[in-house]
Amino acid sequence: MNIAIIPARGGSKRIPRKNIKEFCGKPMIAYAINAAIESRLFGHIIVSTDDNETCNIATAWGAEVPFTRPNELADDHTTTVPVIAHAIEACKKLGWQFDYVCCIYPGVPLIQIDDIIGSLELLMKVNCGYCFPITEHPSKIQRALRLLSNNRVQPFHPEFETTRTQDLESAYYDAGQFYWGKTNTWLTKKHIHNNGIGYAIPNWRVVDIDTNEDWQHAERIFKSITGHPE
């Protein structure tokens, strides 16, 4: 059996109540829950939260909230791995047995079910702890510029200043949507990026929603690919 764990604390500084704010007709977290349900990969879909309203909305959309996340794991500085490790331990106390755990972030309206399925298949083929979606940087990072106080710019890597972009290696970044991991890997709290493999997805459907501008951009993409009415 596999389980999905959606970490969704109540606090959000940049976009207040982001995880349950309405996005194109649904609470934001509903997209993560629906994707997990429709993938048919999970025996349980868990939401780890410290917030009663988030709990009520999550259960209304088909998730389970069998425990409350402790306050020390719900602040601005808590990282993903300890939150998922805590949730796994709580689920094990319920007597559940599972081999793979997928952490799905709650703010992922552009998530694709095929990516969830494909990432698990890749992880099962490769001897690695985690698998997660990555996407290519839109420009070559070797040509990145530093902005100085006087508005002058300075190359981060001056050795590549005259190198043709087509001759530079492509770079990728974490799409920030979900992470598959073996149960024991989560419990040993290994870092994801140093112990994972990447599942490449197109960068046009990767949006890190941290500002109102990000939110509006994600809505435009969502509407364009789903035909959702304005």
| pLDDT tens by residue, 80-116 | 999 999 999 999 999 999 999 999 999 999 999 999 9
The percent of residues in the chain predicted with pLDDT above 90, rounded, is 93
Helix axes 28-39, 52-60, angle to 10 degrees: 40
Domain boundaries, the chain: 2-223
Question: CA 125 from chain center: how many Å?
Answer: 22
- In sequence order, the β-bridge partners of residue 219 are none
Residue indicated by tokens 């974490």: 174
| pLDDT tens by residue, 164-209 | 999 999 999 999 999 999 999 999 999 999 999 999 999 999 999 9
Domain 2-223 fold is Spore Coat Polysaccharide Biosynthesis Protein SpsA; Chain A (3.90.550)
Determine the pLDDT at residue 61: 98
Mean pLDDT value across residues 214-220: 96
Helices (H) and strands (E) in the chain — how many of each?
6, 11
Q: Is the dihedral of CA 183, 186, 190, 191 positive or negative?
A: positive
What is the pTM for the complete model shown? 0.95
Alpha helices, DSSP H only, in 94-167?
Answer: 113-125
